[in-house]
Amino acid sequence: MADKDKDIVLERLTDIPSEIFNEKIGLNPFLYLIDYDIRHAWCRETSIKPGLWSGYDRSIGQCAVTALLIQDLIGGDIMKCNIPAFGAHYWNRHRMAFGKSIDIDLTRDQFPKGLVIVPNDSGDRKSMLYSTNDKQFKTSQRYRLLRDRFLKNFIKGVRARASGSWLEDTFK
């Protein structure tokens, strides 16, 4: 993992709920791998805002397709809100034991720090993928590309991790 990637992951840990991350055990290993491989699957073509996307600001325009992929991987609900000056934003809410739920928003860092994001709707998967908006925003096409790139990264990572050195290589 490059130093820049380590810094991004460590910076984001402060926003992760204690159910997923705590100082004793760290980030849930499966979620860490998902996070890492999704971030490396993002590209200009998976962003709804390709003109604003860059390798430095990878999460820009990735929220809808990322929320769809996270739902595929761990279930839960897709949440939605409209943020003035930014537009629609999507993320995941995962139900846990004892009626608790946690929000998983891998694209939160595309917004200014301190911006309060409150859901005002749930994202409907079918309408996200097959509505007239899909034709305009190409969500289903961008989602399939992200899914394919993620799976390629994840499978490649599984092979590398199976060799026994993945943890050592990840945190060098």
Please give the tally of structural domains in the chain: 1
- Among the listed ranges 5-9, 80-84, 89-93, 108-112, which one has the minimum average pLDDT value? 5-9
Question: How high is the pLDDT of residue 119?
Answer: 79
Tokens of 32: 């860490």
The verdict on pTM exceeding 0.85 is: no
Helices (H), 42-95: 63-74
Q: Can you give the pLDDT at residue 34?
A: 87
Mean pLDDT of the chain: 78
Can you give the C-alpha Rg of the chain in angstroms?
A: 16
pLDDT of residue 144: 95
Range of the domain at 32: 3-170
Does pLDDT of 93 surpass 70?
yes
Strands 101-104, 87-95: pairing is antiparallel
Least confident of 9-18, 35-44, 73-82, 158-167: 9-18
Q: Mean pLDDT, to the nearest integer, of 8-30?
A: 48
DSSP conformation letters of 89-107: EEEEEEE-GGG-EEEE-TT
pLDDT tens-digit profile of 22-58? Answer: 444 444 667 778 888 999 999 999 999 999 888 888 9
Tracing tokens 């993945």 back to the chain, one arrives at 166
3-state per-residue secondary structure call for 103-134:
EECCCHHHCCCCCCCCCCEECCHHHHHHCHHH
Count H helices and E strands in the chain, helices first: 7, 6
Is the model's pLDDT at 95 over the cut of 90?
A: no
Angle subtended at Cα 140 by Cα 134 and Cα 145, rounded to the nearest 5 degrees: 140
Q: How many CA atoms lie within 13 A of 80 on its CB side?
A: 14
Q: Which of 123, 95, 91 is nearest to 107 (CA)?
A: 91
pLDDT digits (tens, 9 = 90+) for 128-143: 888 776 667 899 999 9
Nearest to 66 by CA among 101, 41, 86, 33: 41
Residues 6+ apart with CB under 8 A from 168: none
